[in-house]
Amino acid sequence: MLKLWFLCLVNCALGLDAYVLSGLLPSIAQSIGSRPEQVGLGIAIFTLAYALSTPIFGKIFQRLHTSHLLQLAVGVFIVGNILTVCATAFSVFILGRLIAGVGAGIFSPLAFATAIKLGGEENKGQAIAIVLAGLSVGTAFGVPFGLWLSQLYTWKTTILCIIGLSSVGLLALFLNRLSIPLITTRASIFNKNIINSKTIPILMVTFLTGFTSLGLYSYLGQLLFIQGLMKIDIYAMWLWGIGGCIGAFSVGKLLDNYISSQKMTILVLLLLIISFILLFSGQWQLIVLACFIWGYAGWSSIVPQQHRLTSISKISHQNILALNSSLNYLGGALGTALASFIAYMQWLQELPIILTLVLGLTLYIHCRHRDMGVDDI
């Protein structure tokens, strides 16, 4: 599994870039002359671009070799972050987030498909988990480190670190280009063999989980501020990320050896519901515990979904993983947009309650699908 390290490295930069802005909203807003709620839309734009880039650009770039496409995606991601760090106006900032999201959206599903090919079918769960672990490590250690850097210097220092890390990843991809297998895409991700009665409920669960988990995290700092707990924001983010690391590293082995993907999804949805209930307790001890559970469950949720989809899909892994990944981040984008609207209306304290109800619906959809006779995998 060591041959997957360069994919994990780039995903580490993606994880940092996707989540660190949630703690930098006030300082970015002050720098570009905007409001935190408006800057929060930059997270939504990033995740929306991430979600839609593969459906839009996948067909255009399908003739490129996998290694070339991976390098191109990281290059686009770097350009987007350069624009972000140079932004002095809201419009330039949003453009930078859009371009960075496109690069991340092209890279990530292709990285998962490449990992499965390199790791072998018998280690599919672990291969997916290792690449996902790059995202969680970038969040667990990168986000608090990025917040610390921004407090010492400026928010732009954090973005410069992301550019540096992704540049190292781009160099690693170039040096390991000969070891990257060719992955062919022969069908649209909207092919009937991908979107059908078996996969639609699974994809809906992915979408709604991203909607709740990623949408709320974008405004975690603001939520703690409202509850008078701003002093624990870095610790809460540390615990969210550490929980995510544990979840991302452990879930692959659990799926390969001990628990079915369906049962794992039920477990993580229940844990997310518990964590969201604890979030509006007003007690800092329960809130930091909630962040740990939330991180563990949130980062564990995507792997069983991918594991199950690749087991029942008749089309290439790249297509089904691209669609699942797109829906995860599309959900996150819409969840962030909802959170931004709720923050603007000054109803942010009610957000965990609203999203807990959405999670209840998600659990119902998953359990109802299981009762429809789909084989347990």
Per-residue pLDDT of the chain (377 residues; tens, 9 = 90+): 556 777 888 888 887 887 777 778 788 888 888 887 788 788 878 878 887 787 677 666 667 777 888 889 999 999 999 999 999 889 999 999 999 999 988 888 788 778 777 766 666 667 777 777 777 777 667 667 777 777 788 889 889 989 998 999 899 888 877 667 666 654 455 555 566 667 788 888 888 988 888 777 777 777 777 777 777 777 887 888 888 888 877 777 777 677 777 788 888 899 999 998 888 777 888 888 999 999 888 888 887 887 777 776 555 556 677 777 778 878 877 887 788 788 777 777 777 888 889 899 988 888 886 644 444 44
Report all structural domains of the chain as residue ranges with CATH numbers, in order of start.
Answer: 2-370 (1.20.1250.20)
The alpha carbon torsion through 102, 57, 108, 321 (nearest 10 deg) reads 140
Does the reported pTM lie above 0.85? no
d(CA 120, CA 123): 6
d(CA 370, CA 356): 21
* DSSP reduced 3-state for 210: helix
d(CA 297, CA 217): 13
d(CA 44, CA 47): 5
User: Taking a C-beta distance cutoff of 8 angstroms, is the pair 1, 127 a contact?
Assistant: yes
Instruction: Give Dmax (Cα) for the chain.
Output: 56
**In the prediction, which pLDDT does 98 show?**
94
Helix axes 143-152, 233-257, angle to 10 degrees: 160
> How many other β-carbons are positioned within 10 Å of the β-carbon of residue 164?
13
Query: For the residues of 312-334, what is the DSSP string, one character each?
Result: H-SS-HHHHHHHHHHHHHHHHHH
**H or E stretch including 240?**
helix 233-257
Nearest to residue 29, comparing CAs of 99, 95, 93? 93
User: Taking a C-beta distance cutoff of 8 angstroms, is the pair 307, 127 a contact?
Assistant: no
